[in-house]
């Protein structure tokens, strides 16, 4: 077992090593192998088979309602997608079903599992143990298990997916990519909460941050788009989907982020409240007699866009209702943009300036109106959105005017590709060591 102190030191060392290694390797040739990327949720298992020679998706799919009687499996891209009704009582059976479809004589995409060189798994919480993606060993599995209380819905599911792959493909190299890893470079002034210090020492209560793989990907792509090394840039990256987070990235290193000990903190989200006065929690318990579970459900599942509008957690519905004159929907819309604006503003000061703000995920990539509202009224700070570029869709682009001192960039995120890249990178390192 790795001691807490050792784990912390290792985390700090490998954070620097990983970040510099990732920067050094950005743009270099990748190992031309096929990687299976797996994202195991509590009742689902998503996958992509990625050809690293071209960095293209060969096929993808999702097993849904794993553990329920009406589970099913969707496999294939766009028009080729087919839905297979199959009973999937657990993640082991789901992985088995995926491997059978991938190698099926009629509809499969590969002749045999031999074609898959390695498997990359998304793992939500790596605590302070992991500051970069890691080769999965028995010790790594134990550490992921140790982080389970911090992500009780996600880490056990990831472990189930990893164990299933280990059983079904014992000879394959497996890698874990952590949502928290990228943010392990935050300084103590950003990750500590102003609570009694013992809570940090004894219970590791601190900011961890999430969506790290997405923040890392869009930061790298933004640097490529600006034709500048990441190490020369100050960026604010905004992952605005159903879950939302903002990160301050200084010379390639995450130095602050809005999500915290859990993915509940920070921005207003689809159903999550984000940051609120913590005394509201004690008030709900003492005055409204709510249990801990009820308060948790209220803040995670009944708040955010849904809680304010009373209609939906989906910004498309909120936008339509706003246009139809619904006042609560309009309020939810305004609160959401205000929340993003405040975080961007505070990170500009924390970073001491910013070269570009980068937006991604469902809302960040697709909602021109929200993007316009977020940057409205900032002209005196030298920020100008080009409304024509803002109204376009679906590809990486700068959407600020030429004269804008701060560039605004839209990048479709690709966490699976990032996981596949890390997996191929570790595969190449291990193969070189073996040779
Ligand atoms: P994600 O979690 O990244 O899949 O993002 C999901 C959210 O993106 C949805 O709940 C919607 O609120 C939002 N979204 C997706 N497409 C659009 C769109 N065209 N306009 C506004 N919001 C969108």
The contacts of residue 409 (CB under 8 Å, 6+ apart) are 222, 225, 226, 356, 357, 358, 359, 396, 397, 398, 399, 400
Query: Helix (H) and strand (E) counts for the chain?
Result: 16, 14
- Residue among 366, 324, 358 nearest 340 (CA): 358
pLDDT of residue 335: 98
Give domain status of residue 432, yes or no. Answer: no
DSSP 173-221: EEEEEETTGGGGG--HHHH--SS-HHHHHHH--S---S-HHHHHHHHHH
* Residues 56 and 150 both lie in one domain: yes
Give domain status of residue 158, yes or no. Answer: yes
pLDDT of residue 14: 40
Sign of the dihedral through C-alpha 411, 413, 417, 422: positive
* Residues 153 and 234 both lie in one domain: no
Give domain status of residue 212, yes or no. Answer: no
What CATH number has the domain bearing residue 34?
A: 3.30.420.40
CA angle 311, 340, 15 (to 5 degrees): 120
* Residues 245 and 387 both lie in one domain: yes
* Residues 263 and 389 both lie in one domain: yes
* Residues 172 and 312 both lie in one domain: no
* Residues 307 and 171 both lie in one domain: no
CA angle 226, 228, 232 (to 5 degrees): 125
Give domain status of residue 362, yes or no. Answer: yes
Contact between 413 and 361 (Cβ < 8 Å): yes
* Residues 291 and 167 both lie in one domain: no
Q: Is the CB of 393 under 6 A from ligand 1?
A: no
* Residues 234 and 139 both lie in one domain: no
Give domain status of residue 215, yes or no. Answer: no
The contacts of residue 221 (CB under 8 Å, 6+ apart) are 358, 396, 411
* Residues 115 and 15 both lie in one domain: yes
Contact between 111 and 119 (Cβ < 8 Å): no
Q: Is the CB of 368 under 6 A from ligand 1?
A: no
Q: Is the CB of 315 under 6 A from ligand 1?
A: yes
Looking at the 3D structure of the chain, how many domains does it have?
2
- Residue among 18, 24, 35 nearest 421 (CA): 35
Name the residue of 367, 369, 415 to mutate for ligand 1: max ligand atoms within 8 A of Cβ: 367
The contacts of residue 128 (CB under 8 Å, 6+ apart) are 4, 7, 8, 11, 184, 204
Q: Is the CB of 413 under 6 A from ligand 1?
A: no
Distance CA 378, CA 197 (A): 39
pLDDT of residue 29: 62
Which ligand 1 atom is at minimum distance from the Cα of 413?
A: 3
Distance CA 356, CA 350 (A): 14
* Residues 163 and 248 both lie in one domain: no
Give domain status of residue 430, yes or no. Answer: no
- Which residues span the domain enclosing 131? 4-178
Low-confidence ranges of the chain (pLDDT < 50): 1-27
Q: Is the CB of 62 under 6 A from ligand 1?
A: no
pLDDT of residue 28: 55
Give the pairing of strands 244-250 and 234-240. Answer: antiparallel
Please, which contacts does 403-408 make with residues 24 or more away whose CB atoms are closer than 8 Å?
405/381, 406/354, 406/355, 406/356, 406/357, 406/381, 406/382, 407/226, 407/355, 407/356, 407/357, 408/356, 408/357, 408/359, 408/371, 408/375, 408/383
% helix, strand, coil for the chain, step of 5: 45, 20, 35
* Residues 398 and 292 both lie in one domain: yes
* Residues 124 and 33 both lie in one domain: yes
Give domain status of residue 377, yes or no. Answer: yes
Which ligand 1 atom is at minimum distance from the Cα of 317?
A: 12
The contacts of residue 123 (CB under 8 Å, 6+ apart) are 144, 154, 155, 158, 176, 177, 178, 179
The reported pTM is 0.92
pLDDT of residue 267: 98
Give domain status of residue 48, yes or no. Answer: yes
Name the residue of 211, 239, 316 to mutate for ligand 1: max ligand atoms within 8 A of Cβ: 316
């Amino acid at each position: 077992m790795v001691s807490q102190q050792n784990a912390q030191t290792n985390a700090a060392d490998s954070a620097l090593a990983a970040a510099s290694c990732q920067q050094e390797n950005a743009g270099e040739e990748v190992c031309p192998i096929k990687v299976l990327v797996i994202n195991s949720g509590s009742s689902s298992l998503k996958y992509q088979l990625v050809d690293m020679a071209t960095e293209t998706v060969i096929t993808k799919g999702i097993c849904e309602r794993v553990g329920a009687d009406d589970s099913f499996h969707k496999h294939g891209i766009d028009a080729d997608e087919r839905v297979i009704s199959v009973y999937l009582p657990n993640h082991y059976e789901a992985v088995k079903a995926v491997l059978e479809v991938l190698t099926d004589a009629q509809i499969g995409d590969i002749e045999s599992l031999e074609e898959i060189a390695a498997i990359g798994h998304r793992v939500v919480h790596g605590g302070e143990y992991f500051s970069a993606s890691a080769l999965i060993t028995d010790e790594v599995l134990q550490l992921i298990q140790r982080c389970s209380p911090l992500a009780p819905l996600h880490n056990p599911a990831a472990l189930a997916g990893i164990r299933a792959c280990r059983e079904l493909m014992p000879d394959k190299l497996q890698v874990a990519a952590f949502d928290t890893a990228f943010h392990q470079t935050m300084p103590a002034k950003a990750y500590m909460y102003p609570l009694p210090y013992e809570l940090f020492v004894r219970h590791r209560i601190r900011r961890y941050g999430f969506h790290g793989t997405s923040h890392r990907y869009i930061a790298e792509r933004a640097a490529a788009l600006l034709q500048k090394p990441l190490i020369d840039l100050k960026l604010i990256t905004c992952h605005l989907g159903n879950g939302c987070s903002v990160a301050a990235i200084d010379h390639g290193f995450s130095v602050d982020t809005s999500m915290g000990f859990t993915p509940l903190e920070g921005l207003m989200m689809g159903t999550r409240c984000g940051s609120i006065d913590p005394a509201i929690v004690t008030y709900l318990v003492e005055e409204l007699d709510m249990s801990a579970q009820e308060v948790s459900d209220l803040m995670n599942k009944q708040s955010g866009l849904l809680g304010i509008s009373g209609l939906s957690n989906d910004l498309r519905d909120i936008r339509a209702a706003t246009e139809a004159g619904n006042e609560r929907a309009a309020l939810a819309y305004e609160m959401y943009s205000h929340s993003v604006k405040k975080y961007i503003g505070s990170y500009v000061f924390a970073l001491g300036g910013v070269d570009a703000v980068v937006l991604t995920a469902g809302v960040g990539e697709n909602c021109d109106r929200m993007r316009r509202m977020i940057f409205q009224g900032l002209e005196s700070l030298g920020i100008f959105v080009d409304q024509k570029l803002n109204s376009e869709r679906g590809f990486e682009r700068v959407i600020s005017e030429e004269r804008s001192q701060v560039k605004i960039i839209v990048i479709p995120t690709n966490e699976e590709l990032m996981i596949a890249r890390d997996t191929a990178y570790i595969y190449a390192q291990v193969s070189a060591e073996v040779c």
